[in-house]
Structure 1
Amino acid sequence: MNTSPAPSPRVVLYARISEDVTGEGVGVRRQLDACRDLAIARGWIVVAEATDNDVSALRGKHRPGYAQVLDLVRAGEVEFVVVWQTSRLLRNRRERAEAIELLGRQRVGIITVKGQDLDLSNAYGRGMAGMLGEFDTMESEVKSERVAAAAADRARNGRPNGALGYGWRKDGTGSAAVYVEEPEQGEVVRGIVRRLLGGESLHGITDDLNARGVPAPNSARWGKTSVRKVATRPANAGLRVHHAGRATETTYPGTWPALVTVEELERVRALLAAPERRTNGITRPGARKHLLTWGIGVCGVCGGNLRVGVKGNARHGTKKSLYLCAEKGCVGRDEASVDTLVRGVVMERLSRDDALDWLLGDDDEARRIGERARELRTRLDDAADQYADGVIDSRQLERITARLRPEIERAEHDHARANRSLDLDTLRALAGPQAGERWDQMALAARRAVLETLGLVVHVDRVARRGPGFDPESVRIAWRQG
């Protein structure tokens, strides 16, 4: 008869905290200490300790510590899993079902510091694990719903969801605190928007801000991404966006002072989102170096874009740049001669008495298209509110969104094309006898913006005559307006 004592059970300790604000892991350490004390008091052998800090179990995110526990269970290395409460281990429905099946098959029990121990080797224990886990899940979901409702309430009342960021500062404390403009930062934001609408490039603005030592968000140097982000925030125009980018996206008036107008925000966002500025997320080559590449100048034969190539030898003084058909090489023309011709035609038109009215274009048309885009977005926002209030279900919201989204995108695209991309001050400075002087002072990016605003298209045709010299008849200049 064997009278030797049974071996001590082997256990793994597991601790998890959903949200660790300080990042110091105090909560999981406290849970592990309690689990360790329990194991020592019962004379158990602790095989491993696993933790998941600042990880929610409800959302199904990967939990490395949890995965380690299951690996030990599968390998038959432990008889018990020790936790503070079952909610630390079994909160997600899918993971709970898988864990109950695995632990039951391996005859591994769950031991809790606070709560009921669970023997998963029998039906009663597995059933209790499922019921307790479901209550834990319900508790988490109710909390999430409260948090979501509070966030929606803040949005409807125009309150920011956290700090507003660059351009504002909090004035006061507690519930009486309000956001006010931080004057120096606010002026930087307005300056960035004005300069973009004035035709300057992100690259040039970024370099200038860093050269002048203008403080950037988060005390870092300015980059093109941060300049773009600062310029295009809805908060700049005093707008509070809730669920940005989702089907339920809704916009409300904010409670903080606007730094720019809604119209300026819409124009700068349309400007920076324009497809001619980017190709697969990369700035199109040559767009900052040449006047007529990428959309302004086109091949008169095949309609393709123009690129710039070099002909001749610099050492022999015969090197020169040519506008070439980027698609098939149909045409080639001296870049400097074409640019000079374009300048002359544009300056002649801008020097006329009616130049300013012509530059401003049909504001009524742009306004009508803009109102149509806003009307459609308001209808989508109303549908999102009806879903939040329980008037319609998720299937109905999806149908409404699927129908309105394409209409909104078309209307906003048409609005961007109808709306001028240059600000009024720049347009006024260009109109009149001083047009040529002002043009020569402008950066290349600003000149391109002027031509894009005018809707200018330069067709480079094949030459009709043979012989040396530039033939101006081989270049056709067309206006999309007036």
Structure 2
Amino acid sequence: MVEQLHHPDEAPLIEELFKRLDAGVSFRAIAADWEARDIVNDSGTPFSPQHLRRLAINPAYAGLREHNPNRRGKRPDAGPATLVDATWTGIVSKALYYRVFKKITDPERHTSRDGRARHLLSRIARCDPCGAFLIIIRAQKPKPLYSCQKHGCASIGEAALDEWATDVIVGWLMRDDVATWLRRSGEAEDEALAKIADKLAEARAELAKLRAALKSGAMSVETGMIVEPGLVERVKNLEQDEKDATTPSVLRPLVGLGERTFEAWEDTPIEAKRDVARTLFVPEILGELRLKPNPVRYQVAPVEDRVTTRKVDV
């Protein structure tokens, strides 16, 4: 077998792309930086954010290839493929690829119309009375507000809630026990995440194949009703396992810095800050962040009196 070597100029750029995406840098920011550094594609033009996204979801860079035993030629109805080990060595690890893929294809990721996330807690914090997400209103005004998306049950100044959340997040990241936990969990993260991602891809492919069989009539509805719930539950459980295994990676750049944590947080891109907030404000860690209505109308209550966190024992 002939050994396949990585391109000496392109491989470092691919590795840089994945590492920066993993750290929360946006496609737009990377594209702008590469253009400023005169990095161009094979056509001699700057990389667009869309081109960078296509590179980031290409499994070949992790030493993986698509496998679909039902595909013959370019049949569009052959069903989903699964990822298997390729004969070449990847430029990035499988764990890094799966982390980045999950991050950029996550349906919960919301950005503004120009593709950039702008607000730390939008669609992360929730309204306490009804449970709806908080979203930004009056975004173009001097003092934007977070407000209940559904009924307007509660609202608060963006700056005030962001400041409170930042103090809580940074305080947690500075704890010694957090650094110890992260160091231990990171040792096994890559291998565990790769295994989970393989199982999840397989389960999703099985579910898609079953639904295609139901749609085409190749499987009876009765059989589908028996088999489908188990597959759906399997996918759901694996998605939770994947989330649990990925948690340390988004926190790692900000842990173990001591007093420099505040400075590092300020230098962190907003997309990465949102990943950290989304990771930490869950019932199992800091608690689900919820906003209560202002207790006295037309009076500004302290943020501490307006915020609650719902936690569960783990």
Q: Report TM bin, short chain.
A: 0.7 to 0.9
Once the two structures are TM-superposed, the CA of residue 250 in structure 1 deviates from its matched residue by 4.8
- For the 8 Å contact 1:200–1:446, the answer to whether it is kept is yes
Other structure's SS at 2:5 match: strand
Other structure's SS at 2:169 match: helix
2:291 alignment partner AA: V
Matched, 1:292 2:118: no
Could you tell me which residue of structure 1 aligns to residue 58 of structure 2? 233
Pair 287,301 (structure 1): closer, same or farther in 2 beyond 3 Å: farther
2:117 alignment partner AA: R
Q: 2:155 aligns with which of 315, 332, 337?
A: 332
- For the 8 Å contact 1:277–1:284, the answer to whether it is kept is no
Q: 1:253 aligns with which of 76, 85, 88?
A: 85
Measure, in 2, the Cα distance between the counterparts of 1:195 and 1:334: 31
Pair 184,297 (structure 1): closer, same or farther in 2 beyond 3 Å: same
Could you tell me which residue of structure 2 aligns to residue 199 of structure 1? 24
Could you tell me which residue of structure 2 aligns to residue 320 of structure 1? 143
- For the 8 Å contact 2:31–2:49, the answer to whether it is kept is yes
Measure, in 1, the Cα distance between the counterparts of 2:181 and 2:159: 27
Once the two structures are TM-superposed, the CA of residue 419 in structure 1 deviates from its matched residue by 2.7
- For the 8 Å contact 1:365–1:418, the answer to whether it is kept is no
Measure, in 1, the Cα distance between the counterparts of 2:296 and 2:9: 60
Matched, 1:462 2:293: yes
Kindly report which structure 2 residues correspond to 1:398-417, keeping only aligned pairs within 5 A, or say none. Answer: 406=232, 409-417=235-243
Could you tell me which residue of structure 1 aligns to residue 169 of structure 2? 346
Select the structure with the greater relative contact order (CA < 8 A; seq sep ≥ 6): 2
Could you tell me which residue of structure 2 aligns to residue 7 of structure 1? none
- For the 8 Å contact 1:421–1:449, the answer to whether it is kept is no
Residues 307-342 of structure 1, C-alpha deviations (whole Å, 9 max, x = no match)? 22239x97xxxx422111121111111111111111
Once the two structures are TM-superposed, the CA of residue 365 in structure 1 deviates from its matched residue by 9.5
Measure, in 2, the Cα distance between the counterparts of 1:443 and 1:289: 10
Pair 195,293 (structure 1): closer, same or farther in 2 beyond 3 Å: same
Measure, in 1, the Cα distance between the counterparts of 2:203 and 2:273: 39
Aligned sequence identity (%): 24
Measure, in 2, the Cα distance between the counterparts of 1:379 and 1:293: 31
Could you tell me which residue of structure 1 aligns to residue 14 of structure 2? 189
Other structure's SS at 2:144 match: strand
Could you tell me which residue of structure 1 aligns to residue 259 of structure 2? 433
Pair 479,224 (structure 1): closer, same or farther in 2 beyond 3 Å: farther
Other structure's SS at 1:181 match: coil
Pair 254,232 (structure 1): closer, same or farther in 2 beyond 3 Å: same
Unaligned runs of 5+ in 2: 206-217, 283-287
Matched, 1:448 2:271: no
Measure, in 1, the Cα distance between the counterparts of 2:300 and 2:82: 63
Measure, in 2, the Cα distance between the counterparts of 1:351 and 1:308: 29
Once the two structures are TM-superposed, the CA of residue 229 in structure 1 deviates from its matched residue by 1.3
Measure, in 1, the Cα distance between the counterparts of 2:158 and 2:242: 30
Pair 181,453 (structure 1): closer, same or farther in 2 beyond 3 Å: same
Could you tell me which residue of structure 1 aligns to residue 108 of structure 2? 276
- For the 8 Å contact 2:127–2:153, the answer to whether it is kept is yes
Q: 1:374 aligns with which of 195, 198, 204?
A: 198
- RMSD over aligned CA atoms reads 3.8
Measure, in 2, the Cα distance between the counterparts of 1:292 and 1:247: 38
Q: 1:302 aligns with which of 115, 118, 130?
A: 130
Could you tell me which residue of structure 2 aligns to residue 123 of structure 1? none
Other structure's SS at 1:183 match: coil
- My pick for the range that moved more, 466-475 or 435-444, is 466-475
Unaligned runs of 5+ in 1: 1-175, 382-394
Once the two structures are TM-superposed, the CA of residue 475 in structure 1 deviates from its matched residue by 1.3
Measure, in 2, the Cα distance between the counterparts of 1:407 and 1:219: 47
Matched, 1:267 2:93: no
- For the 8 Å contact 1:299–1:461, the answer to whether it is kept is yes
2:93 alignment partner AA: T
Could you tell me which residue of structure 1 aligns to residue 285 of structure 2? none
Measure, in 2, the Cα distance between the counterparts of 1:225 and 1:266: 19
Could you tell me which residue of structure 1 aligns to residue 212 of structure 2? none
Measure, in 2, the Cα distance between the counterparts of 1:359 and 1:464: 39
Once the two structures are TM-superposed, the CA of residue 194 in structure 1 deviates from its matched residue by 0.7
Once the two structures are TM-superposed, the CA of residue 213 in structure 1 deviates from its matched residue by 1.9
Once the two structures are TM-superposed, the CA of residue 212 in structure 1 deviates from its matched residue by 2.0
Once the two structures are TM-superposed, the CA of residue 184 in structure 1 deviates from its matched residue by 2.1
Measure, in 2, the Cα distance between the counterparts of 1:412 and 1:223: 33
- The count of corresponding residues between Structure 1 and Structure 2 is 281
Once the two structures are TM-superposed, the CA of residue 417 in structure 1 deviates from its matched residue by 1.8
1:229 alignment partner AA: R
The structure whose Rg is larger is 1
